[in-house]
Chains A and B, each alone.
Chain A
Amino acid sequence: MKKALRRAYIALIMAFLYAPIVLLILYSFNDSKSRAVWGGFTLRWYQELFSDTAILSALGTTLTVGLLSAVISTVLGTAGAIALFQLRRRPRHALLSVINLPMLNSEVVTGVSLMLLFAMAHVQLGYVTLLLAHVGFGVPYVVLSVLPKLRQLDPHLAEAAQDLGATPLQGFLRVILPDIMPGVFSGFLMALTMSIDDFVISFFTTGSGVSNLSITIYTMAKRGISPKINALSTLIFLCVFALLIGLNLRDFKRGGRKKPDEVRIPY
């Protein structure tokens, strides 16, 4: 009885979380522009999607900014985490507080402050500022996911590699990097997720007609959102679903109870 109650509760929460998403997916197959009417099943929006240059270019911006900023953030953040790790206590704590600031600050403040920064530097708002802003907020996520892995590292691994004839660079590439890779990877995924889902910071730091999906949707929301966006979102959702299932499949099969930090979910 109690067990059934617990399961029902989880089911209810899941329903709450997924109801709007299921609805959205349904609408993407609805042969009617209005949300109120079910006009029959169609794949029309999927076809039209691929000829809508505005949406496709927004998708392109979202994906390229997401990937580029995630890659740059990962490189900078990993280097930063290693640098931080080797600093002495006091400067380390000072720097850690600084990189924690953007995560504690609300997105509005971060977005506004970056906008002011670009204005001061006389940089025209556009693709480059968008990318820079996303690198700006992506780095802390990488640092904070790499640092714990560095702390878990056997302190003698780097020495052992050098002892066996590896130069410091070889030692880093062959021993340290593979070992902290889960942290680097989850940092990369987090930076990517945050970048793709971001609206607020993008809103303040883009311009010159460059817009990503979030901004396109925000603009559309006032006039009514095209079912083509629903179609696109459905595609993205299914891709990510497949990807995450694929990444975690082995773990699910094993079925064992895993520590949450071993589960490859960006959040």
Chain B
Amino acid sequence: MKNKALTVPFVLWAAIFVVVPLLMILWYGVTVEETIPYTEIVLDDGSVIYELEDGSHTSEKPYEKRARVSLSNFKRMLEPTYLKLLLRSLKIAVITTLICLLLGYPVALILTGRDFKRPALWLMLLILPMWMNFLLRTYSWLSILENSGILNGLIASLREAIPALDEWLLARGVRRRIVFLYNENAVILGMVYNYLSFMIMPIYTVIEKTDRSLLEAAADLGANPVQRFLRVTLPYSLPGVLEGVTMVFVPAVTTFVISQLMGGGKVPLIGDIIQNQFGKSSDWHFGSTLSLLVMVVVLAFMGALNRIDKEEAAQKEVRIL
């Protein structure tokens, strides 16, 4: 089985689909496109030649554009407009990740407990929504949350049924039709909805693998349920938490569809700007520079997480001693 023939296609794949594309981004990111200046000269016989900057002549029309190494896109990237966008993306991603963790951790914990006899079934039910196109699922939230949507309808009929509630709410300045959509909160809701399972799965996997006798041992040594959770379950589930955080944070920083649907274009994120550069604005160079920025931010984040991971691991070793 020691066949080097297997390695070659795989290395080729890695080179073509991973390494080269990233180098392309790097190249585009540090260059700008510029028009080659030239003068058109009509000769006596009616033919046309072109004079270039350096005084040379050519009978063929020069390529209009060329790439030049320049850091001007990096300067542009640091303009307040873009930095604000990046900060907003980071803020929304951090909030989304925290909410997913707070909502998801108890789910993982409960499913590994003894209440649920068939965790496989429940796990499957958690994953199943992913098989409905995510644009469609997100879009479906619009009909719940929009001004004339189901939620407002429910609230309205509730107010009609209980006039006292209606008055109470009006007194507090709550309008008849509440605007849920097209703000940061709506974008966060859309992200939490889409990424919650990414948080639950890795945490569940790790808690499930933790040796149950550890809990029993802790109980035997006199730890109450809260202590058992804090001293056994939580530290041991940390790798799962870190993986879940990564799986939520990375797409949350860079998404551009959810912000468009739930934010209605009013809450642009860094991902939207990148998409724009490769679509309407068609400035691939600046788009690449922004991609580089996102990459660096994500990698820095991952690096920080990995350090936590390593420190934690080192600490565990010390504890054993």
The reply to whether A and B meet directly (CB within 8 Å) is yes
**Are B140 and A24 touching (Cβ within 8 A)?**
yes
Q: Which residues of B contact A106 (CB under 8 A)?
A: 250-251, 253-254, 271, 294-295, 298
Q: Which residues of A contact B37 (CB under 8 A)?
A: none
Q: Is B313 an interface residue (CB 8 A)?
A: no
CB closest residue in chain B, given A161 = B1
Task: Encode A188-211 as 1/0 by CB contact (under 8 A) with B.
Answer: 000001001101100110000000
Taking the closest CB of chain B, its distance from the CB of A82, in whole angstroms, is 6
Q: Is B101 an interface residue (CB 8 A)?
A: no
**Are B131 and A199 touching (Cβ within 8 A)?**
no
Q: Which residues of A contact B187 (CB under 8 A)?
A: none
Q: Is B117 an interface residue (CB 8 A)?
A: yes
- Residues 104-118 of B contacting A (Cβ, < 8 Å): 106-107, 110-111, 113, 115-118
Total contacting residues, chain A, CB less than 8 A: 90
CB closest residue in chain B, given A76 = B13
Looking at B46-54, B176-184, B202-210, the stretch in contact with chain A turns out to be: B202-210
Q: Which residues of B contact A68 (CB under 8 A)?
A: none
Q: Which residues of A contact B137 (CB under 8 A)?
A: 20-21, 24
**Are A237 and B25 touching (Cβ within 8 A)?**
no
Select one of A36, A230, A233 contacting B148, CB under 8 A: A36
**Are A14 and B135 touching (Cβ within 8 A)?**
no
Q: Is B62 an interface residue (CB 8 A)?
A: no
**Are B19 and A98 touching (Cβ within 8 A)?**
yes
Given A76-B13, A259-B208, CB of A23 within 8 Å of CB of B144: yes
Task: Encode A247-267 as 1/0 by CB contact (under 8 A) with B.
Answer: 010011001011111010111
Given A10-B111, A82-B6, CB of A101 within 8 Å of CB of B22: yes
CB closest residue in chain B, given A245 = B124
CB closest residue in chain A, given B301 = A104
Write the residues of chain A forming the contact surface with B, with a CB cutoff of 8 angstroms: 3, 6-7, 9-10, 13-14, 16-21, 23-24, 27, 35-36, 76, 79-80, 82-84, 86-87, 95, 98-99, 101-102, 104-110, 112-117, 119-120, 132, 135-136, 139, 158, 168, 171-172, 176, 193, 196-197, 199-200, 203-204, 213-214, 217-218, 221, 225, 229-230, 233, 236-237, 240-241, 244-245, 248, 251-252, 255, 257-261, 263, 265-267
Pairs A–B under 8 Å by Cβ, sample size 9? A23-B144, A36-B143, A95-B11, A101-B18, A135-B17, A136-B18, A199-B134, A225-B139, A252-B121
